[in-house]
């Protein structure tokens, strides 16, 4: 039998067959492992958000506390004087909220000059609660003594239910505190006479102002 191809060409065809020279490519793909991208460092100059420091947290709490308070102010006029009461208290629905600050000033109405200012003391901090003003004013009165001198009388209270929880304070015409009957063992003669006269002789009361509802919502009857 005679071969159709010369011997050299036949050898080449056999070698190509053994080597896989078919003109086709291997389509089997190897598995590729995908790795999570490495963390990218912020570019230079990029702002980062630092953790809040204890001072920042405290400042934020203080700001929130301030936002929950309200400052009230009222003026009581009597002849040529004006009494200005100002208080910073909790902004809640309590009829008697806690107040962190309270001042009482006497002003000359003609000139606007402040004759005196009293800042009320805070009771000491207890059980982690911040100091608060103990005394509040229920009514202000402007009265004339038998001598002709004029005074201011403040009806004071602290919200408690005791003999010492309500008392009176006496201020002279320039706003200086000159007497009180809170200590029953140390009565003030001028204050006692003014209280008696204002009850027996209403015309000795020049003017008065009730402060019900000044600090918070008044209690419904």
Confidence of residue 218 (pLDDT cuts 50, 70, 90): low
DSSP string spanning 81-131?
A: EEEEEEEEEE-SS-SS--EEEEEEEEEETTT--EEEEEEPPEEPPBTTBPP
CA distance from start to end of the chain: 133
Q: What pLDDT shows up at residue 170?
A: 98
Mean pLDDT, the chain, rounded, equals: 79
Tens of pLDDT, residues 8-63:
444 444 444 444 444 444 333 333 334 545 555 656 665 555 666 766 655 555 55
Q: What is the pTM of this model?
A: 0.67
Tens of pLDDT, residues 109-156:
999 999 999 999 988 777 777 789 989 999 999 999 999 999 999 999
Domain boundaries, the chain: 59-210
Residues 103, 169 contacting (CB under 8 angstroms): no
What DSSP designation does 204 have? Answer: G
């Amino acid at each position: 039998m005679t071969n159709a191809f010369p011997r050299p060409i036949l050898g080449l065809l056999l070698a190509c067959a053994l080597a896989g020279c078919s003109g086709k490519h291997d389509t089997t793909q190897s598995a590729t492992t995908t790795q999570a991208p490495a963390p990218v460092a912020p570019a230079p100059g990029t702002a980062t958000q630092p953790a809040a420091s204890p001072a920042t947290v405290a400042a934020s709490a203080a700001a929130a506390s301030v936002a929950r308070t309200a400052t009230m102010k009222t003026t009581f006029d009597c002849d040529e004087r004006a009494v200005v009461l100002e208080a910073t208290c909790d902004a809640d629905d309590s009829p008697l909220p806690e107040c962190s600050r309270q001042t009482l000033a006497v002003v000359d109405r003609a000139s606007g000059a402040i004759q005196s200012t009293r800042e009320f003391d805070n009771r000491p901090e207890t059980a982690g609660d911040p100091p608060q003003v103990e005394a509040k004013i229920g009514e202000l009165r402007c009265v004339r003594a038998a001598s002709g001198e004029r005074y201011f009388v403040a009806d004071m209270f602290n919200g408690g239910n005791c003999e010492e929880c309500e008392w009176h304070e006496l201020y002279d015409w320039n706003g200086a505190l000159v007497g009180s009957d809170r200590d029953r063992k140390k009565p003030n003669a001028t204050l006692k006479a003014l209280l008696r006269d204002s009850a027996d002789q209403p015309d000795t009361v020049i003017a008065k102002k009730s402060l019900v509802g000044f600090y918070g919502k008044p209690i419904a009857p």
